[in-house]
Structure 1
Amino acid sequence: MADWTYSNVVPWWPYVFILLAGWLPTDIWRYLGVVSASRIDETSEAAKLARTIATALVAAVIAQLVFFPTGALADIPLPVRFGSLAAGFAAYQLSRRRILAGIIAAELVIGGWALVAILI
């Protein structure tokens, strides 16, 4: 008797699900943002509020990664994670706010700790 499970009848359904449940809801808001961006005044109170909320959300995610990590990041000691954060922020400020410089500096601190941990 044939196996009539949905994944055997329609083997491409996970890709459709990813498209409909993952990509489409996210990108609709992106496209609406692009279309409406030309009509928004960057100096308005609403734009300032949106920028403030977005910055706060990014800061909250970074704080969660540093102070309450999960997975492999949880194996890295807190002083190393905090030092990585400090080094990344310092590099960002010293490089005239280049994000890539901050990311590379933070990665070098964590990578250096990993190298030392392996060698010891």
Structure 2
Amino acid sequence: MSDWAYSNVLPWWPYVFILLGGWLPTDMWRYLGVLSANRIDETSEAAALARTIATALVAAVIAQLVFYPSGALAEIPAPVRLAALAAGFAAFQLSRRRILVGIFSAELVIGGWALVAASI
């Protein structure tokens, strides 16, 4: 029995797959967005709908990470994840909506928990 696989025959195949399956479909929409951006009125209902959908998708991803985590994040207790979410959101609002401040604050909560958990 042979160990035939694409990676043995064509060692560059995973990179082509990443290019075709990941980068190209994503960037295609980005490039189309850049090309059509000057034609869209940002106060239009279509732009408002696009912003609403994008915000809902980000909120859904955050909710999934907090309430249904996987991998290493699943090892962090739910109250700690909720505290990190609350701290990050509060810091974001208090810093006049600076995303990095919110992210750093949430990371501090999780990092603080990790230090306490490691010392126990």
Amino acid at match of 1:78: A
Q: Return the alpha-carbon distance in structure 2 between the equivalents of residues 54 and 106 of structure 1.
A: 22
Partner of 1:67 in structure 2? 67
Q: Say which SS state the counterpart of residue 104 (structure 2) adopts.
A: helix
TM-score (norm 1): 0.92
Q: RMSD across aligned C-alpha pairs, in angstroms? A: 1.7
Q: How many residues align?
A: 119
Gaps of 5+ in 2: none
> Is 2:116 the counterpart of 1:111?
no
Q: Return the alpha-carbon distance in structure 2 between the equivalents of residues 8 and 79 of structure 1.
A: 46
Deviation at 1:6, TM superposition (A): 4.3
Deviation at 1:9, TM superposition (A): 3.7
Gaps of 5+ in 1: none
Partner of 1:24 in structure 2? 24
TM-score (norm 2): 0.92
Partner of 2:40 in structure 1? 40
Moved more, 92-101 or 18-27: 18-27
Deviation at 1:103, TM superposition (A): 0.1
